[in-house]
Amino acid sequence: MAVMTKNQKLLDWVEEIAAMCQPDNVVWCDGTREEYDRMTNALVKSGTFIRLNDDIRPNSFFCRSDPADVARVEEFTFVCSEKEEDAGPTNNWADPKEMKDKLRKLYDGCMKGRSMYVIPYSMGPIGSPIAKVGIELTDSPYVVVNMHIMARVGSEVLRVLGESEDFVRGLHSIGAPLSTPKTPDVPWPCNAENKYITHYPETREIWSFGSGYGGNALLGKKCHALRIASVQARDEGWMAEHMLILKITSPEGEVKYIAAAFPSACGKTNLAMMEPSLLGWKIETIGDDIAWMKFGEDGRLYAINPEAGFFGVAPGTSMASNPNAMRTLHANSIFTNCAITPEGDIWWEEMSDDQPELLFDWLRRPLTPGSGRTAAHPNARFTTPARQCPVIAEEWEDPKGVAIDAFLFGGRRATTIPLVNEAYNWHHGTFLGSVMSSEKTAAAAGKVGEVRRDPMAMLPFCGYHMGDYLAHWVKIGNEHDDSKLPKIYYVNWFRKDADGKWLWPGFGENSRVLKWIFERCAGRAEAQDTPIGRLPTPDSIDIEGLDLDAKDMKELLKVDLEEWLNETPDMQKHYEKFGKKLPDELVWELERLEERLREPAHKV
Q: Which residue numbers are catalytic?
A: 266
Q: Contact, 218 vs 95, CB < 8 A?
A: no
Q: Contact, 308 vs 149, CB < 8 A?
A: yes
- Judged on CB neighbours under 10 Å (0-12, 13-18, 19+), 411 is buried
Q: How far is the CB of 548 from Mn ion (least distance, A)?
A: 29
Q: Is 377 in the site for ligand SPV (CB under 6 A)?
A: no
288 or 567: CB nearest ligand SPV: 288
440 or 534: CB nearest ligand SPV: 440
The residues, any chain, with a CB within 8 Å of residue 321's CB and separated by 6 or more, are 270, 350, 507
Stretch that binds Mn ion, among 67-75, 257-265, 360-368, 570-578 (CB under 5 A): 257-265
137 or 457: CB nearest ligand GTP: 457
Please give the backbone phi and psi of residue 205, each rounded to the nearest 5 degrees, phi first.
Answer: -120, 155
Q: Is 264 in the site for ligand GTP (CB under 6 A)?
A: yes
Q: Is 265 in the site for ligand GTP (CB under 6 A)?
A: yes
String of DSSP letters for 537-596: -TTTS--TT----HHHHHHHT---HHHHHHHHHHHHHHHHTTGGGS-HHHHHHHHHHHHH
Which residue in the set 443, 445, 491, 586 belongs to the binding site for ligand SPV (CB under 6 A)? 443
Which of the listed partners (ligand SPV, ligand GTP, Mn ion, none) does 315 bind, with a CB threshold of 5 to 8 Å by partner kind? ligand GTP
Find the Cα–Cα–Cα–Cα dihedral 283, 285, 291, 297, rounded to 10°.
Answer: -70
Chain Cα centroid distance, residue 210: 21
Q: Is 262 in the site for ligand GTP (CB under 6 A)?
A: yes
What b/e sequence results for 360-391 when a residue is b if at least 16 CB atoms lie within 10 Å of its CB, and e otherwise?
A: bbbeeeebeeeeeebbbbbbbbbbbbbebbeb
Whole-angstrom distance, CA of residue 537 vs CA of residue 268: 26
313 or 375: CB nearest ligand GTP: 313
Cβ count within 10 A of residue 545: 11
Task: Give the x-and-dash track for 361-380 against ligand GTP (CB under 6 A).
Answer: --------------------
Length of the chain (residues): 604
215 or 276: CB nearest ligand SPV: 215
Q: Is 267 in the site for ligand GTP (CB under 6 A)?
A: yes
Task: Give the x-and-dash track for 289-328 against Mn ion (CB under 5 A).
Answer: x---------------------------------------
Q: Is 312 in the site for ligand GTP (CB under 6 A)?
A: yes
Instruction: Please report how many Cα atoms fall inside a 13 Å half-sphere around the Cα of residue 307, on the Cβ side.
Output: 36
Residue of 101, 102, 99, 113 lying closest to 22 (CA atoms): 113
Q: How far is the CB of 193 from ligand SPV (least distance, A)?
A: 20
What is the 3-class SS of 127-169, one letter each residue?
CCCCCEEEEEEECCHHHHHHHHHHCEECHHHHHHHCCCCCCEE
Please give the backbone phi and psi of residue 433, each rounded to the nearest 5 degrees, phi first.
Answer: -65, -35
Which residue in the set 222, 234, 453, 495 belongs to the binding site for ligand SPV (CB under 6 A)? 222
For the segment 393-432, give every residue that binds ligand SPV (CB under 6 A): none
For the segment 296-325, give every residue that binds ligand SPV (CB under 6 A): 311
Q: Contact, 333 vs 57, CB < 8 A?
A: yes
Q: How far is the CB of 271 from Mn ion (least distance, A)?
A: 12
Q: Is 472 in the site for ligand SPV (CB under 6 A)?
A: no
216 or 264: CB nearest Mn ion: 264
Which of the listed partners (ligand GTP, Mn ion, ligand SPV, none) does 221 bind, with a CB threshold of 5 to 8 Å by partner kind? ligand SPV
Which of the listed partners (ligand GTP, ligand SPV, Mn ion, none) does 510 bind, with a CB threshold of 5 to 8 Å by partner kind? ligand GTP
The β-bridge relationship of strands 132-138 and 115-123 is antiparallel
17 or 63: CB nearest ligand SPV: 63
Size of the site for ligand SPV (CB under 6 A): 9
148 or 515: CB nearest ligand SPV: 148
The β-bridge relationship of strands 451-453 and 437-439 is antiparallel
289 or 454: CB nearest Mn ion: 289
For the segment 179-218, give every residue that binds ligand SPV (CB under 6 A): 214-215
89 or 506: CB nearest ligand GTP: 506
What is the 3-class SS of 211-271, one letter each residue?
CCCHHHHCCHHHHHHHHHHHHHHHHHCCEEECCEEEEEECCCCCEEEEEEECCCCCCHHHH
For the segment 489-528, give every residue that binds ligand GTP (CB under 6 A): 493-494, 502, 506-507, 510
Q: Is 382 in the site for ligand GTP (CB under 6 A)?
A: no
Whole-angstrom distance, CA of residue 76 vs CA of residue 155: 33
**Residue at 576: amino acid letter:** E
Stretch that binds Mn ion, among 201-209, 252-260, 285-293, 586-594 (CB under 5 A): 285-293
Residue nearest to Mn ion (CB): 289
Which of the listed partners (Mn ion, ligand SPV, ligand GTP, none) does 312 bind, with a CB threshold of 5 to 8 Å by partner kind? ligand GTP
Which residue in the set 48, 77, 264, 384 belongs to the binding site for ligand SPV (CB under 6 A)? 264
* Helix (H), strand (E) counts: the chain: 16, 32
Q: Is 272 in the site for ligand SPV (CB under 6 A)?
A: no
Which of the listed partners (ligand SPV, ligand GTP, Mn ion, none) does 222 bind, with a CB threshold of 5 to 8 Å by partner kind? ligand SPV
Instruction: Please report how many Cα atoms fall inside a 13 Å half-sphere around the Cα of residue 158, on the Cβ side.
Output: 21
Which residue in the set 224, 256, 268, 377 belongs to the binding site for ligand GTP (CB under 6 A)? 268
Whole-angstrom distance, CA of residue 74 vs CA of residue 446: 9
Q: Contact, 240 vs 233, CB < 8 A?
A: yes
| Beta strands across the sheet bearing 301-304 | 239-241, 291-295, 301-304, 402-403
Q: Is 221 in the site for ligand SPV (CB under 6 A)?
A: yes
207 or 311: CB nearest ligand SPV: 311
Give the C-alpha distances (Å, rounded to integers) separating 13 from 10, 43, 121, 154: 5, 28, 16, 18
**Residue at 452: amino acid letter:** R
Q: Is 289 in the site for ligand SPV (CB under 6 A)?
A: yes
Whole-angstrom distance, CA of residue 443 vs CA of residue 380: 9
For the segment 554-583, give every residue that binds ligand SPV (CB under 6 A): none
The residue ranges that bind Mn ion (CB under 5 A) are 264, 289
The residue ranges that bind ligand GTP (CB under 6 A) are 262, 264-270, 288-289, 312-313, 315-316, 321, 443, 493-494, 502, 506-507, 510
The residue ranges that bind ligand SPV (CB under 6 A) are 72, 214-215, 221-222, 264, 289, 311, 443
